[in-house]
Structure 1
């Protein structure tokens, strides 16, 4: 036990509405040392919370069905598919961001799920149809069964006709629908960052089933994509063929109509031959062919010029597909591009071999563009020649028409029929080309998706994660127990630290006293009561503990109290003779009587003249501890003006004088304690004694102690450690500010040094009590 003596410091003023029980830290700051102190004193609660949380987490893991997850990776819009389409002459269009999102939703669709269920017959797979269970779900299911059974027992049975059982088809459809729902619920589809890579995962109770279902989802999606492309291409091909056949028949009818019109109008040449064999017909045919060639050359020239301006490599490859000169360059470019893509996917774009192939691609691309530029120049020259040929044929045709009377109405009608026929012929040619292209796409079905990594059978369960659940459950238990500790700390208003005495109650801390002999005043077994009429007694050992053990921490605290009393007496010039000290507490049971008797006995053993008055007239605990009949006591002295010397009893060992109380006579005890009789008695005692101690009653139940405040020179306040409520003590002390003014200081009684180390600051005196033990002999 460690003692702190009085330093003559005035108690701090304490705001009645503000309580700061631990030190001087501002309320908006966190004191780490106090947090550690809370952990030290509440570690058992925190440990129980962690253990319970961990146990619940492990119970959850033990009762939860294991889940296995397997994933397959697929690539949308692959480079290989684009290269194959280029080689086959099929137009290639890369996927946009919105189209990628659409493909993800297609993978998640019920249509894909239904095909997977049908392919693997999942509705008949017992493992697949079984839902995972946890400890909570098992309890809920058991509770549901019990409640449903109770309801059937309590509620009367309905007399209605029961519904017909479902048919086998309905049951099969329900199983398929449930299987689709389970598949969609356990399937996960996510895009890896901003790439075209998609991960398809599936969770199942069986590791083999998880891998099979994940692979089946990818395969069904690829098959569905191919079938969708094939169906759309087939519909387009059928429509194009139908339209081409219609245009062919229409063209044949127009040609036949032209021939009939010629015959009907006698449109023949000068030599008498038929118009179809005439020079005019030949010129018209040549002019049409020349115009067609001119249009084709102009389109080709614009296409080549656009490729050169945009630098479109894919278009350059397609444009050189039919040129014999660049066939070797085109073949080299595609082979090098394929090797380059393969190296980039395996080694990265910055690898030495990838950079070398990139250089070769750039060189081949340069040569291809140079060839395209040369072809564009040649095509430009061909256009000039074709334009000249068209002008020549138009002039020759106009001249021939003039010779044959082309200005007539019949010739104009014939020319109109021929123009219509040429228009239909152009449409027929266009649709026929598109029909051939559609046939090529239909016969060369290329999937834009390929599987990168097949789903593998997982070696361990993905859920529940025992380590993660154990950590989270322990953390949750720690948080909940921490909340409980916070609640306990909030509710804990007991006084345990010297800071609370000094800062909250405004008392100087004088020291602490450990519990002695169980903390209650009692006589040893077999002790005898003092006989009536004797003036000498033997105080119980508990009331002389400081005398019996003068080198103990208990005695050192009593000496500290004496030092504080002496300092106060020296500072008060109004106390020329004996000093009157009152000992009081807020509540009963705080050990005030034991402290007063031990303090008085210690001072008496040191040679001082000491008087101890049992001033608790309603509950005289000190008198009961003397174990002797009282004929004359304090009440008789105050009421009957009896001689105080006739009521004094003395301890044989220490010479301490005591005036007990004869219990039962006093009614207005506060008037006796604060009246003129008590003043007269104390004045007489001061003449013969150095110290007069008053064992006053507690402040909370009665006002006797407050009534005696004007008669005492100082008071020692006794607080029971770990039991006295701080807020209640503040309320009691706020009733009379004279208590703090008169106070010499306060002590913590029933002190537990081991537990006290977990309270207050590291700088508190009792925190180092273990280091002070060498100075004491308890």
Structure 2
């Protein structure tokens, strides 16, 4: 039960770590164990409410009709629809739209009107359920007693209809499921089928009305479009006549003329270029001053081949023959021979004849060239004139194209509307709808759907469990009291020295009448019995010699009237039941105090206080002092709660003088000390005959410090029972008296906020705090709050060592 001291840094580091899965599960189980009464109550309450609803709710039946949105129509109308494009293909959005149409008030109103549901008492009633009865009663308290109007009845019927109707699409198909809940099977099936039928009728009527309105509008619009088309075509004809635009074979006349003139111009240019080339060649030959016969002949050959002149060709052949003879005769007879000279003269005449012929041909070519140029200029002029006319026609052609386009559009729109008009007229005669009923609701099937007992009870169990968990968590969060030692260490930032269990007064009385049993049990384990106690142990009636004084000189003088009688005190239980958990807790406090005093001779005074009254600090002070005295220490217990000396009233109710009288010098402390004859515990009471207002001044006085200096010289340990921290300020004045403090916290009663506040307001206690004691602990309940140390508080481990509660 000894608790180790934990520093604030270790606590903060532990709190910063994320809890593991095991810790989370343990925390959840601990929460259930702490709050299981609330959890069970909440869960049972939810299940009971669900059971009441199941047994009192009226039975409802569901009728289901299945509708299919089918795009297949009669083949003839389908062909027209595809041709005219008046029907859109069915898609997912369209099916969802039909679902919303089935839920509309238009369909609901038709069904209510057709079936006369407003006059049906079965439809207009809510059944005999408890919830409906309570709802009607409450609404009747706040509503007037006037009879409802027809409109109010219709709105009420529509609301009931909407509550009972359920429309949903089956998966991603074109199938729609129509369900209706009613108090009877027949009415549920009847309404479900009526919804499907009225939907189909409404679809047909809407298509008929739409077709009829479309036909009327199309007819009026068709007249306007025909008039516009005729006007546009007439405008085109007038514009053509005004601008002399004539079509010939699909082309304008100016375009044909322009093409012909362009061809003629191309031919003239080609002829002029050819004549000019010939003339330039002949002119070049004639202008050449070349007497070489071979060069002339070669040039003549080129010209002859080009012009194909028979005269020049014949002269050239003769010239070539003479030239051959002249070459042959010159080789035979020599170049000066008369025959050779004659041939040479003849050849000269022939060449002169050729040149004359070339000049005559050149004149002919010159004349052809002039003619070709005249023809080209004429064609060019005609082309320019035609182009000018064509440009003017082109400007008009732009306007003409716009007029023709408008006319064509008007005519096409008129034809289009004519086709639409014909289709709308046909649809008026043959209305069709895409929806058809594939399954009608049956009225003879056992289809009770409400209330669903299993589902409701399961939902109540799950919801009750969740609600119970939430309530448990909220209550646990609002439980801002100390229940475990780990909570004390977390919020107070110091170690919890012990957890002292609550002791009933009956247990105290029982142990006080059987001291021999406890002594025998203690002796059975080989320990010295009270009768065999060695010197200084503190047996019955023994007096401990005071340190630094001779016997009979400076020790308190015992008197038979100043002997403590603590048999009926709870603090005495630590002596009467030394093997109890209660006594083990005080041995844990004593050990912590001894360790704190180790190596310090001046740390003798231990102040015991609490945040609020009635937390058991006086009992803790007495029991701790008895434990210290039993161990052989010279121990003095002082009642320092001057405002409310409850310890004095319990231990020495007959005391007339005490601490106050000693401090003011009216008595010697040795003469007012009371002694426990069994443990030799010395007790300095605080006898107060009237209300004391300046108790803090008395505790902080020099006389009080001088008294404690004397007491430190005569006692090994001094236990000082102080006032609570919150109501009075006396503890703040004990800084010169107490060396360390122990804060008593009542289990499941002391508020965390109060303890934190009083410690922050009392720094002297906070800085010298040895530890805390968790008092009045219900061990069986505390084991449910400690997540990790639940087994620590179980009794079976103590029984193995002979301990009892």
Give unmatched runs, 5+ long, in structure 1: 15-19, 153-164, 241-426
Q: 1:192 to 1:676 in 2, by over 3 A?
A: same
Q: Which residue of 2 aligns with 1:687?
A: 713
Q: 1:693 to 1:126 in 2, by over 3 A?
A: closer
**Which structure has the higher relative contact order (CA within 8 Å, separation 6+)?**
1
1:78–1:450 Cα contact (<8 Å) kept: no
Structure 2 Cα separation of the partners of residues 515 and 219 of structure 1:
79
Q: CA deviation at 1:659?
A: 1.7
Question: Per-residue CA shift, 1:492-550, capped at 9, x if unaligned?
Answer: 32122222322321322111111223499999999xxxx99613232134221111111
SS state at 2:788 partner: coil
1:75–1:449 Cα contact (<8 Å) kept: yes
Within 5 Å, give how 1:382-397 maps onto structure 2.
none
Q: 1:680 to 1:100 in 2, by over 3 A?
A: closer
Within 5 Å, give how 1:366-385 maps onto structure 2.
none
* Structure 2 counterpart of 1:24, from 15, 26, 35: 15
Q: Which residue of 1 aligns with 2:764?
A: 738
1:191 aligns to 2:169 (yes or no): yes
* Structure 1 counterpart of 2:504, from 505, 517, 528: 517
SS state at 2:489 partner: helix
Q: CA deviation at 1:44?
A: 1.6
1:540–1:625 Cα contact (<8 Å) kept: no
1:584–1:718 Cα contact (<8 Å) kept: yes
SS state at 1:24 partner: helix
Q: Which residue of 2 aligns with 1:465?
A: 452
Q: 1:667 to 1:107 in 2, by over 3 A?
A: closer
Q: 1:23 to 1:456 in 2, by over 3 A?
A: farther
Query: In terms of mean alpha carbon deviation, does 642-651 or 623-632 score higher?
Result: 623-632
Q: 1:615 to 1:459 in 2, by over 3 A?
A: same
Q: CA deviation at 1:595?
A: 1.4
Within 5 Å, give how 1:212-291 maps onto structure 2.
212-222=190-200
Larger-gyration structure (1/2)? 2
SS state at 1:636 partner: helix
* Structure 2 counterpart of 1:544, from 556, 572, 575: 572
Q: CA deviation at 1:749?
A: 0.8
The alignment yields a C-alpha RMSD, in angstroms, of 4.7
Q: CA deviation at 1:25?
A: 4.5
1:71 aligns to 2:64 (yes or no): yes
Q: Which residue of 2 aligns with 1:385?
A: none
Q: 1:588 to 1:13 in 2, by over 3 A?
A: farther
Q: Which residue of 1 aligns with 2:187?
A: 209
Question: Per-residue CA shift, 1:277-330, capped at 9, x if unaligned?
Answer: xxxxxxxxxxxxxxxxxxxxxxxxxxxxxxxxxxxxxxxxxxxxxxxxxxxxxx
Q: Which residue of 2 aligns with 1:280?
A: none
Within 5 Å, give how 1:129-528 maps onto structure 2.
129-131=124-126, 135-146=130-141, 183=161, 186-222=164-200, 448-457=434-443, 458-478=445-465, 481-518=468-505
Within 5 Å, give how 1:569-648 maps onto structure 2.
569-572=597-600, 574=602, 579-640=604-665, 642-648=667-673
Q: 1:25 to 1:37 in 2, by over 3 A?
A: farther
Structure 1 Cα separation of the partners of residues 490 and 667 of structure 2:
45
2:798–2:804 Cα contact (<8 Å) kept: no
Q: CA deviation at 1:231?
A: 9.0
Q: Which residue of 2 aligns with 1:747?
A: 773
* Structure 1 counterpart of 2:685, from 660, 664, 672: 660
Within 5 Å, give how 1:558-569 maps onto structure 2.
558-569=586-597
SS state at 1:516 partner: coil
Q: 1:453 to 1:773 in 2, by over 3 A?
A: farther
Structure 2 Cα separation of the partners of residues 89 and 600 of structure 1:
108
Within 5 Å, give how 1:48-59 maps onto structure 2.
48-59=41-52
Give unmatched runs, 5+ long, in structure 2: 219-413, 514-557
Q: 1:215 to 1:147 in 2, by over 3 A?
A: closer
Q: 1:646 to 1:450 in 2, by over 3 A?
A: same
Q: Which residue of 2 aligns with 1:4?
A: 2
2:200–2:436 Cα contact (<8 Å) kept: yes
Structure 1 Cα separation of the partners of residues 424 and 752 of structure 2:
93
Q: CA deviation at 1:598?
A: 1.5
1:716–1:744 Cα contact (<8 Å) kept: yes
Structure 1 Cα separation of the partners of residues 488 and 620 of structure 2:
18
Q: Which residue of 1 aligns with 2:738?
A: 712
Query: In terms of mean alpha carbon deviation, does 453-462 or 112-121 score higher?
Result: 112-121
2:564–2:674 Cα contact (<8 Å) kept: yes
How many corresponding residue pairs? Answer: 557
2:705–2:736 Cα contact (<8 Å) kept: no
Q: CA deviation at 1:489?
A: 3.4
Q: Which residue of 1 aligns with 2:35?
A: 42
1:498–1:764 Cα contact (<8 Å) kept: no
Q: 1:774 to 1:100 in 2, by over 3 A?
A: same
Q: 1:713 to 1:124 in 2, by over 3 A?
A: closer
Q: CA deviation at 1:198?
A: 2.2
Q: CA deviation at 1:686?
A: 3.0
SS state at 1:710 partner: coil
1:651 aligns to 2:629 (yes or no): no
Q: 1:731 to 1:218 in 2, by over 3 A?
A: closer
1:73–1:200 Cα contact (<8 Å) kept: yes
SS state at 1:42 partner: helix
Structure 2 Cα separation of the partners of residues 499 and 22 of structure 1:
14
Question: Per-residue CA shift, 1:401-452, capped at 9, x if unaligned?
Answer: xxxxxxxxxxxxxxxxxxxxxxxxxx9xxx99x99x9999999887644322
Question: Per-residue CA shift, 1:612-647, capped at 9, x if unaligned?
Answer: 122222221121112542243222211125222211
1:700 aligns to 2:698 (yes or no): no
Give the TM-score normalised by structure 1. Answer: 0.61
Q: CA deviation at 1:684?
A: 2.7
Structure 1 Cα separation of the partners of residues 437 and 669 of structure 2:
111
Give the TM-score normalised by structure 2. Answer: 0.59
Q: CA deviation at 1:657?
A: 1.6
Structure 1 Cα separation of the partners of residues 113 and 608 of structure 2:
93
Q: Which residue of 2 aligns with 1:423?
A: none
Structure 2 Cα separation of the partners of residues 502 and 62 of structure 1:
53
SS state at 2:449 partner: coil
1:717–1:747 Cα contact (<8 Å) kept: yes
Structure 2 Cα separation of the partners of residues 561 and 194 of structure 1:
75
Structure 2 Cα separation of the partners of residues 713 and 544 of structure 1:
25
